[in-house]
A and B are shown apart, each in its own frame.
Chain A
């Protein structure tokens, strides 16, 4: 078993036991990144990472994360490291500051090796909207890794790093985790600071971990949560994210969302999820059907609110203060040419949608109405959690789809997030764990809980993970 086959927790233990060093870990992973055939990374900071690894190796007492390498979604600011959010609009842009969650992980001893590929400004479900390149699914190079955090998911599945950070607005961590056969978690809205996360939709965006095990995801999350004075919407974390140890689900009531088990779910996905539900019962849990009527309006609601927010969030990219600028004759020309040339089509589509949804005379009909549905959805989730401890559903209605399959059909692409969006709108935590294969491709099971139920979620996921014994190694991966 090579170093890359160790989980992050295993790598930390190996460093602490003196069996390896941070620099040795870095070399092993840098070599894998150099040999990368899935195009997971956009930028690698080998020099900075090596300096930091040596620093940590020289410490008399190692920090908790012991210099284990990590990849960061390119939506997160890392000081002096090119950060593009997958857009030509920020080509070559080096931030002046580091995102709070990344800074916290660095302080805890994580070594940032580079930035991972993503859909432009996190808009997409396949990473094909990256302005720079496609990332391939490690399980089948003809398929997408999911998105928008596709690079982060593929890098972990490919064992180029043991863990990464992603961001999730409507499913951008959970869906690629499902498609790449790994663990991905979106925490409660406000649990992790958004300061330094290049905004897509501020009221939905949340940073979270990718890892091959639930234990690793918990460990990473532990060092990220908590109030940040730079983010007014961040919250004090009650207690600590514990290392999950549960091995059974006795007494646990798990609700299965009727509305998310319907026609749109592929048979193979459905079969794997049903089998996982069986495993839940074997572990002592009770599975009961639950109805969330507004869940079916989730997609429509999301595609009003998220574009509305992004239309304002992305208005700052005008070529005046940073980033590339198109040559222009006058101010209006500069705005139009810079934004016209440098934004990709999906980003433009969503900004147009959002601008329209906020327009005077349409506001109430679209934005106002969507907010009301969102409120209703929050209430329905709260009612559901009076009856059950967790909600279960497929993470994605399908397994990884072929590259290019949905690029011409935005609606088909949007459907990829139909199961993850309702949870996002309600601001709740959810985790996706691999629960089996369909036609040789991974299927994800989504578990969602009430606000701040991360420990319970991670515990349940850990118990289930042990029983399901899913092998996260993609076929043919040599480590």
Chain B
């Protein structure tokens, strides 16, 4: 047990997946040729003015509402001034002391069922910088650097948390579930790899029991939850070592090298910029109509945490079912549509199990396949009514995946319906008669032999027999001999 307690807060940058940029009409693009999505505004030509993207405001409000933030009746933009080639105006339009979303909180669920409560300090709107590429991949001393302005001006929401996190694993848990919530809101692609979601962590340590904060360092720009978790672990260890040896942690920006596991210092905060923030005179305040905000609040989708609780409590799903099915908004919607039409637990089993297994080879997700939620529900209904057996149902599903036909029609056209009791009894009687030795063994109490009869029957009926019924009929036939 360490004598120190880590104190961690995070800042998350989320690129909004709007059609156009934050302050101009250029379309957002990923992977298009460099500098093909630019205009005088996002290239900061003389005389141009920014105009706020209303859809970006809407999405920022959705994020704020989902995080329970206070929505500012009137928020303003500021200019953050610094020179760099990725910032054509030499200032970033951001929000400073009056952000669109104020204090809120986020609840995450740990695996053991306990809750992690993280205070949200604020969430504000700003624009992304352009993309710089340095020859040789290094900034310092690069012979040449090139700028792609396609990304410049992409709408960003920066979410800042309180220093409420106490372990690297909680940070990862929080970020994963926050990401899930953002995906549910449909506001961003939230791809850490592509940089549409980026997280920085502010890390400090203090003696266990202390209520004062230690000097924090900023761990920059990790491109996966895993690296972020490891990076924080490494940074905590580094700080413990310094403090343990009687030293002082200095306030600086640090970087985690995933290959070596080492922490390196990027730049000292002491030499950091004076950004000379001042109110952006080219823009008027954002003052969303309260009726609009209420409309957005009412229209929020059901968020992962309450949804998972409902799945377990009302639908009889296991915690694991709920976890798996809420991993993304598409899968949830798919499941909920099926569950509205048939037994939720059975739908969950079929979607999680057989459907995904059969689709895996083609690399297709359920909502992308020809199998609709209504098909899943219909199949569950057929099973429930005893119209098909489980093995036949799997066969039906395989057929629906290919043809997109209704399951009932597939059962009909392929003759996959369960046999009626009388026909099945006749088949079983025939097989028992044809195998007197095995029948005798069964009479003698060698129960294992029953598997032989079931297998033979299934083979003969092409899977249209219910194995349970077959067992019962075999015993009856053997006794009746």
Contact = CB atoms under 8 A, between A and B. Distances in A.
Contacts of A268: none
Contact of A95 (B46, B50, B91, B282): B46
Interface residues of A, number: 43
A77 interface: yes
Contact of A312 (B47, B49, B85, B91): B91
Contacts of A76: 47
B88 A363 contact: no
A13 B442 CA distance: 117
B44 A316 contact: yes
A315 B81 contact: yes
A315 B45 contact: no
Contact of B88 (A97, A230, A321): A321
Given A77-B46, A360-B274, A96 B40 contact: yes
A189 to B, nearest CB: 10
B230 interface: no
Contacts of B89: 312, 315-316
A359 B281 contact: no
Question: Chain B interface mostly helix, strand, loop or mixed?
Answer: loop
A26 interface: no
B51 interface: yes
Contacts of B45: 95-97, 321-322
A359 B274 contact: yes
A83 B49 contact: no
Given A312-B81, A312-B90, A199 B274 contact: no
Contacts of B147: 320
A197 B49 CA distance: 9
Interface string A329-364: 001000100000000000000000001001110010
Contact of A315 (B91, B281, B283): B91
A389 B278 CA distance: 35
Interface residues of B, number: 29
A407 interface: no
Contacts of A309: 278, 281
Q: Of residues A97, A230, A312, which shows the largest number of chain B Cβ atoms within 10 Å of its Cβ? A: A312
B48 interface: yes
Given A202-B282, A203-B281, A320-B85, A315 B49 contact: no
Interface in A284-342: 308-309, 311-312, 315-318, 320-322, 331, 335
A312 B83 contact: no
Q: Of residues B44, B50, B88, B282, which shows the largest number of chain A Cβ atoms within 10 Å of its Cβ? A: B282
A316 B277 CA distance: 16
Nearest to B274: A360
Interface in A57-88: 76-77, 83, 85
A230 B40 CA distance: 12
Contact of A77 (B47, B50, B282): B47
A97 B39 CA distance: 10
Interface in A199-245: 199, 201-203, 229-233
Given A96-B45, A308-B278, A316-B44, A232 B52 contact: yes
A194 B49 contact: yes
Interface in B271-304: 274, 276-278, 281-284
Interface in A398-454: none
Contacts of A201: 281
Interface in A127-185: none
Contact of A229 (B51, B85, B277): B51
A332 B402 CA distance: 62
Interface string B41-60: 00111111111100000000
Contacts of A77: 46-47
Contacts of B308: none
Contacts of A202: 281-282
A41 interface: no
B276 A358 contact: yes
A187 interface: no
Contacts of A322: 43, 45
A93 B278 contact: no
A99 interface: yes
Contact of A360 (B43, B50, B276): B276
B46 A312 contact: no
Contacts of A269: none
A163 to B, nearest CB: 21
A196 interface: yes
A358 B51 CA distance: 24
A198 interface: yes
Interface in B226-241: none
Interface string B248-287: 0000000000000000000000000010111001111000
B154 to A, nearest CB: 18
Interface string A232-265: 1100000000000000000000000000000000
A320 B146 CA distance: 11
A90 interface: yes
A381 interface: no
Nearest to A205: B281
A473 B45 CA distance: 39
Contacts of A198: 46-47
Nearest to B283: A232
Contact of B83 (A85, A203, A232, A318): A318
A195 interface: yes
B79 interface: yes
A335 B91 CA distance: 15
Nearest to A233: B284
Contact of A359 (B46, B79, B90, B276): B276
B83 A335 contact: yes
A196 B48 CA distance: 6
A196 B47 contact: yes
Contacts of B52: 232
B90 A195 contact: no
Nearest to A354: B276
A393 B45 CA distance: 38
Contacts of A358: 81, 276-278
A452 to B, nearest CB: 17
A232 B47 contact: no
Contacts of B43: 321-322
B135 to A, nearest CB: 13
A316 B90 contact: yes
B68 to A, nearest CB: 30
Nearest to B282: A202
A368 to B, nearest CB: 9
Contact of A331 (B85, B88, B283): B85
A95 to B, nearest CB: 7
Interface string B72-111: 0000000101010100111100000000000000000000
Contacts of A355: 276
B49 A230 contact: yes
A426 to B, nearest CB: 15
B84 to A, nearest CB: 8
14 contacts: A85-B46, A95-B40, A95-B45, A96-B40, A202-B282, A231-B282, A232-B49, A309-B278, A315-B89, A315-B91, A316-B44, A358-B278, A363-B276, A367-B278
Given A315-B83, A355-B276, 4 more contacts: A99-B47, A197-B47, A232-B51, A312-B79
Interface of A: 76-77, 83, 85, 90, 93, 95-97, 99, 194-199, 201-203, 229-233, 308-309, 311-312, 315-318, 320-322, 331, 335, 355, 358-360, 363, 367
